[in-house]
Amino acid sequence: DPLTGVYNRRFALPFLQRLIDSSQLSGENFAVMLADLDFFKQVNDRHGHAAGDQVLCAVTHQLRAHLRQDDMLARIGGEEFLIVTPATSRRRAQRSADRLCAVIAQTPIAVAAKTTPLHVTISIGVTMATAMGQTLSVAQLLEEADRALYAAKAQGRNMVTFCARSPA
């Protein structure tokens, strides 16, 4: 992604397919997360698109800083990010997503044209890919993570929600 310096959709979707294929052989679970900035349109409307770009870059930096080296971060839409965490359990995915929500909410973002920093939050939808005899597709995983993201938005934002299909 030219703005944020992280991967884009063209890299992320084939990466996810390769991970699906390898997890079928290895038996390792992985998490797929969709993270979306809450009320991002208001940032652009109130402070301008240049400030919105600065917010996107700062959030990207915080996300990257709080993910493992093998985790994949991609900006796949305006203010939407795909995070894939290979070889992880549901519990570890929950902790990771909770940590990402907290760090974004707690980190003020300096914007060049503003004297006071901006505060933003993210919502995250998560689905777990398990290698227990299921045939998974990229589209299915993205749909499940997206459904979970919409649930997080509907329940008040600035939170993590798991797809109902994911095992407890």
Instruction: Point out the residues that are catalytic.
Output: 79
CB neighbourhood size of 161 (10 A): 20
Pairing of β 160-162 and β 72-75: unpaired
| 121 contact partners, CB below 8 Å, separation of at least 6 | 37, 38, 101, 104, 105, 157, 158
Question: Which alpha helices (H) appear in the chain, and where do they start and end?
Answer: 9-26, 40-47, 49-65, 90-106, 138-154
